[in-house]
Structure 1
Amino acid sequence: MSEFDVPLFHFSRGEYVEANYQDPLLVDYRNNPLLEALPPIWDDKTVVNKLASKPIYHASENELPTHLRLHCVQRISRDFFRPLSRHLELQQSISRLIRDGYVGRNPLTPNYAFRARKDAYELIMQGNTSGYPVNTPTSAGFALVGISGIGKSSSLMRILQMYPQVILHRKYKGQDMPAPYQIVWLKMDCPHDGSIRGLCLNFLLAVDSLVGTRYYKKNVTKTPDELLPLMAQAAAVHCLGVLVIDEIQNLQEAKDDRAAQMLNFFVQLVNTIGLPVILVGTYKALPALNGEFRNARRNSGQGDATWHHFKKDDEWTWLLQGLWKYQWTDKKAELNQEFIDVMFDESQGISDIAIKLFMLTQWRALDKEIEKITPELIRSVARDRLILIRPALEALRSGKKNQIQKFADIYDSVSIDDYLDRIEAEQRQAERLEVIRTELGYDVTEQTVNELSAWLIEAGIEQGVALQSANEVTKAHLHELDEVDLHKLALKLALQKQNTAASKSPSQRGKNKLKSIPSEPNDLRVITAQGKKRKMPAYDSLKAAGYIKNPLEFLG
């Protein structure tokens, strides 16, 4: 087989790092290199800041020619992410799931290395799920099911990428590691036809790509019955932490009993090698998930996650508040109740549709030289551009079960137990939203103050002075927050305050020496500091500011 015969398929990629062992702080996680090499267990505040993502936005860009502003609007779909309570809950579930799966899979135990290679294969071949050297996992996995466009896959990917994908182990406490590569997570799509053979070959090809093995080329001609145990063996040998299969509704297209066979295999992965499995799909996947996999995860402790479309509540408003800042029209439209209502009505609380509608409306306004977006313009764009999904949105808008059932991707059959669970979930949602608001700020003013003060403190300003300066500058420019360089103004004011304080207290000069703080906006330190706040590497920040040239410019 030539190298050109290897099929191309997509699987999600993450970071590759060398092991840095840290105390996991919990006794049941200690003395296991797979667990000690993971990042720390984060609290909700840390998760909020790690997940939040803001597009680049400068008020001066509103003066750019229309053809350039059209491209600026595209940043929203690429970079905008507003953490919500469901994201915190999902991150906690994944954190527990990965760690619980590793508890009984310590590669330094005397019989693990040999049996991981040999028994995983033989036990799967025999259909025997006893006698494997792992503890029975309490976290078998869970299903993440929800309406199309609600952000299941993108949110899950953001959370997974908070963890390294591959960790290279060399020595642990002076001892050679029998399994040098630890694949923390692997996310891939279920084949469109529900093919077991396709899933196994894609899995082996993904492992080859990550750790340099040759599973695919050695086994490409084998049958599904031969490939399933090989997949289990590879997962065991390379210490896979969690396997995520997206688009699981494709099992509905599987022929014969392939759907049941594949789901039963996932159960065997859990029972045999302790590998947690997360299945992701639309409501269309529910019939396939209501068999063996449901039984296997019944006592998992994590609970399945069902993501319904948003209600018109505080979380919906919170999402729009974050989105509304990014307007490149001639004038900005202030978010009010009318906009909140019309955005909900036209998207039916489906976040992906709302974000795309917001972008489409801006593009229409720029193209037609309309100075700002209006509720009427939003409705007009929805009427013209959401034609294909309008029947599904109309069904949701009607609230009639018989209408909604026609669209399998948006339909959810709700039992009384599900209803009670949803009431509990709404209470937890309110608590988590409070954490998010506290961390990022309740409104635009508070968010601006928090961001400015954090930036000043990082630049070397004393905390009290930083907060006071940020408050004063924000208050003074409340109606032009995006039209002035707030960082430069706040830094100038903070320096004045510190210099004044230092001149009044000469005895304190030696004790409170300040860092050398840049005060000019074109100072390289200011540029890299601002880039860091937007999670940009220093190189990218300097390149965006025009300080790094393309080397090809200097050739020939």
Structure 2
Amino acid sequence: MSEFDVPLFHFSRGTFVEADYQDPLIEDYRNNPLLEALPPIWDEKTVVQKLASRPKFHASERELPVHLRLHCVQRISRDFFQPLSRHLELEQSISRLIRDGYVGRNPLTPNYAFRARKDAYELIMKGNTSGYPVNTPTSAGFALVGISGIGKSSSLLRILQMYPQVILHRKYQGKDMPAPYQIVWLKMDCPHDGSIRGLCLNFLLAVDSLVGTKYYKKNVTKNPDELLPLMAQAAAVHCLGVLVIDEIQNLQEAKDDRAAQMLNFFVQLVNTIGLPVILVGTYKALPALNGEFRNARRNSGQGDAAWHHFKKDEEWTWLLQGLWKYQWTDKKAELNQEFIDIMYDESQGISDIAIKLFMLTQWRALDKEMEQITPELIRSVAKDRLTLIRPALEALRSGKKRQIQNFADIYSSVSIDDYLDRIEAEQRQAERLELIRNELGYDVVEQTVNEVCAWLVEAGIDRQSAKRSAEQVVKAHLNELDRVDLHKEALKLALHTQPVPSSASTKQRGRSNSKVILTEPNDLRLIVSQGRKKKLSAYEALKAAGYIKNPLEFLG
């Protein structure tokens, strides 16, 4: 088979790193290379900082020609992410799930590699999962279901990408590792037709792509009954930490009893190799999930998650506050209660629709040469551009169960237990929102100070000086925050006020791993460092800063 015969499909990618073993600080996780190679267990403040993402923006871009500003608006859908309480809860669930799954799978235990290769294959072939010598985790997995467009897949991927996807192990405590490659996570879509064979082949292709194996080429002609144990074997050999299957509602399209067979296979993955499985989908997936997989995860410590549309509360306002900064119209429209009400009414608390509506409104304003967006313009754009989803939005707006049931992607029946759980979740949501606000800042000024301060610390300025400089610069330019390069001004001020270390302390710092302080705003190291935060190569960062010229400029 030539390389051109291999089908193309999409699976989510992350980073590839070499193992750096650290004390996990919990006794259960010690002396297991799979666990010690993972990042530290983050607190909620750190998670907030890691998840938050802000598009590149400067008020001077409002002076660009309209055809260029139209492209700037596109950054919102690509780069904007506002952490919310549900994201912190999901991150904690995934953190516990991955680690709990690895507790019973230590590759240094006797005969681990043999068991992983042989037993997983044979037990699943025989359909017998009893007696498998791996500790089944208490966290078998969970289902994440919810309304379309609420951010399930994008949020989940953002959290997964906080972890390396593949870790290369060479030696651990002086011993050779029997399994050099550890695949921490793998996220892929359920085939559109619910095909088990398609899922298995896509899985094998993904593993081949990540670690250079040839599972697909060797097994492409096999039937589903032969492929399922091979998939389990590959997952065991390469120490897969968590398997995420998105678009699980596609199982509704599966023929015969294939849906039940696939869900039963996920149960076997848990029972044989202790692999946690997360299933993600819309409410259409609920009928398929209410059978075998539900029984398997009944005792799961994580609990299933149902992401409903937002209420018009503090968290909805917080989402809009983060979004509202990014306006490329001639004038910025200030967020007020009228905008909050209209954005909710036209999106019904579905975050993806709200973000797209905000972008569409800006495009309309720029195209019509309007100075700024208005509530009336939002209404007009929603009426013209959201025609395909308007029936579903009208059903939500009505609040009538019978109408909502016509749209399976947005409907979920709610029991009294669900209602009580939701009250408790809302109390925790308020606590988490307070933490997020404390970390990022309550208003635009405070958020700007914290962002500039974090930038200075990353550049090597001590935190106290960074905080003081950021506060002074933001206060001095309070009425022109979008027009001044606050990072550059704050760095200048910090460099003039930060104490010069003594020669003794300099030597001491030289013996430690402290950051090198970058002393000039145009220091090439600073430019490269800041570019790395934006996922730019050194070449791209220097080119963007104007240090690398187009060679055609020098041709006469």
TM-score of Structure 1 vs Structure 2, range by shorter chain: over 0.9
Counterpart residue number, 1:234: 234
Shift of residue 533 of structure 1? Answer: 5.9
Q: 1:326-383: CA deviations, max 9, x gaps?
A: 1111000111111111111111010000000010011011111001011111111111
Shift of residue 179 of structure 1? Answer: 1.0
Change (3 A) 1:495 1:23: closer
Counterpart residue number, 2:192: 192
Shift of residue 488 of structure 1? Answer: 3.1
Inter-partner Cα distance in structure 2 for 1:58 and 1:213? 46
Shift of residue 210 of structure 1? Answer: 1.0
Change (3 A) 1:389 1:224: same
Q: Check conservation: 2:452, 2:470, Cα contact below 8 A.
A: yes
Q: Check conservation: 1:488, 1:519, Cα contact below 8 A.
A: no
Residues 529-540 of structure 1 aligned to structure 2 (within 5 Å)? 530-531=530-531, 534=534, 536-540=536-540
Shift of residue 491 of structure 1? Answer: 3.5
Count of residue pairs brought into register by the alignment: 548
Counterpart residue number, 1:356: 356
Letter matched to residue 88 of structure 1: L
Inter-partner Cα distance in structure 1 for 2:450 and 2:49? 12
Q: Check conservation: 2:252, 2:288, Cα contact below 8 A.
A: yes
Shift of residue 531 of structure 1? Answer: 3.8
Q: 1:472-516: CA deviations, max 9, x gaps?
A: 3222322221012222333344455558xx9xxxxx987899987
Inter-partner Cα distance in structure 1 for 2:378 and 2:453? 36
Change (3 A) 1:512 1:69: farther
Shift of residue 266 of structure 1? Answer: 0.4
Q: 1:195-253: CA deviations, max 9, x gaps?
A: 11111111111111111111111111111111111111111111111110000000001
Q: 1:300-320: CA deviations, max 9, x gaps?
A: 110001101111111111111
Change (3 A) 1:453 1:445: same
Counterpart residue number, 1:253: 253
Inter-partner Cα distance in structure 2 for 1:218 and 1:210? 17
Change (3 A) 1:435 1:533: farther
Counterpart residue number, 2:16: 16
Shift of residue 148 of structure 1? Answer: 0.2
Counterpart residue number, 2:341: 341
Change (3 A) 1:112 1:318: same
Unaligned runs of 5+ in 2: 510-515
Change (3 A) 1:224 1:458: closer
Unaligned runs of 5+ in 1: 503-507
Residues 399-418 of structure 1 aligned to structure 2 (within 5 Å)? 399-418=399-418
Q: Check conservation: 2:461, 2:517, Cα contact below 8 A.
A: no
Shift of residue 173 of structure 1? Answer: 1.0
Change (3 A) 1:272 1:530: closer
Q: Check conservation: 1:129, 1:271, Cα contact below 8 A.
A: yes
Counterpart residue number, 1:439: 439
Change (3 A) 1:462 1:276: closer
| Identity %, equivalent residues | 86
Shift of residue 427 of structure 1? Answer: 1.0
Change (3 A) 1:495 1:37: closer
Change (3 A) 1:551 1:46: farther
Shift of residue 518 of structure 1? Answer: 4.4
After superposing the two structures, state which structure 1 stretch, 206-215 or 280-289, moved more: 206-215
Counterpart residue number, 2:542: 542
Change (3 A) 1:457 1:220: closer
Q: Check conservation: 1:347, 1:393, Cα contact below 8 A.
A: yes
Inter-partner Cα distance in structure 1 for 2:21 and 2:552? 42
Inter-partner Cα distance in structure 1 for 2:297 and 2:448? 44
SS at 1:329's partner residue?
A: coil
Counterpart residue number, 1:34: 34
Counterpart residue number, 1:138: 138
Q: Check conservation: 1:317, 1:340, Cα contact below 8 A.
A: yes
Q: Check conservation: 1:143, 1:305, Cα contact below 8 A.
A: yes
Change (3 A) 1:4 1:519: closer
Inter-partner Cα distance in structure 1 for 2:553 and 2:232? 51
Inter-partner Cα distance in structure 2 for 1:105 and 1:526? 42
Scaled by the length of structure 1, what TM-score is found?
0.94
Inter-partner Cα distance in structure 2 for 1:461 and 1:236? 45
Inter-partner Cα distance in structure 2 for 1:334 and 1:114? 64
Residues 51-450 of structure 1 aligned to structure 2 (within 5 Å)? 51-450=51-450
Counterpart residue number, 2:466: 466
Counterpart residue number, 1:505: none
Q: Check conservation: 1:54, 1:80, Cα contact below 8 A.
A: yes
Letter matched to residue 356 of structure 2: K
After superposing the two structures, state which structure 1 stretch, 483-492 or 266-275, moved more: 483-492
SS at 2:278's partner residue?
A: strand
Change (3 A) 1:524 1:305: same
Change (3 A) 1:454 1:214: closer
Change (3 A) 1:465 1:346: same
Change (3 A) 1:491 1:165: closer
Change (3 A) 1:463 1:104: closer
Inter-partner Cα distance in structure 2 for 1:555 and 1:115? 65
Q: Check conservation: 1:191, 1:250, Cα contact below 8 A.
A: yes
Inter-partner Cα distance in structure 2 for 1:371 and 1:122? 68
Superposition RMSD on alpha carbons, in Å? 2.2
SS at 1:346's partner residue?
A: helix
Counterpart residue number, 1:7: 7
Inter-partner Cα distance in structure 1 for 2:152 and 2:374? 30
After superposing the two structures, state which structure 1 stretch, 149-158 or 216-225, moved more: 216-225
Counterpart residue number, 2:480: 480
Change (3 A) 1:495 1:217: closer
Shift of residue 459 of structure 1? Answer: 4.3
Shift of residue 111 of structure 1? Answer: 2.1
Inter-partner Cα distance in structure 1 for 2:320 and 2:314? 10
Change (3 A) 1:536 1:320: farther
SS at 2:143's partner residue?
A: strand
After superposing the two structures, state which structure 1 stretch, 530-539 or 369-378, moved more: 530-539
Inter-partner Cα distance in structure 2 for 1:462 and 1:36? 30
Q: Check conservation: 1:111, 1:133, Cα contact below 8 A.
A: no
Q: Check conservation: 2:145, 2:283, Cα contact below 8 A.
A: yes
Change (3 A) 1:21 1:509: closer
Inter-partner Cα distance in structure 2 for 1:510 and 1:15? 40
After superposing the two structures, state which structure 1 stretch, 459-468 or 161-170, moved more: 459-468
Change (3 A) 1:512 1:448: farther
Q: 1:139-180: CA deviations, max 9, x gaps?
A: 100000010000000011111111111111111111111111
Letter matched to residue 85 of structure 1: S
Q: Check conservation: 1:112, 1:133, Cα contact below 8 A.
A: no
Scaled by the length of structure 2, what TM-score is found?
0.94
Inter-partner Cα distance in structure 1 for 2:520 and 2:336? 37
Residues 491-510 of structure 1 aligned to structure 2 (within 5 Å)? 491-495=491-495, 497=497
After superposing the two structures, state which structure 1 stretch, 297-306 or 207-216, moved more: 207-216
Inter-partner Cα distance in structure 1 for 2:498 and 2:123? 70
Q: 1:77-121: CA deviations, max 9, x gaps?
A: 001111111111111111111111111111111121111101101
Change (3 A) 1:106 1:553: farther
Inter-partner Cα distance in structure 1 for 2:258 and 2:552? 54
Shift of residue 454 of structure 1? Answer: 3.1
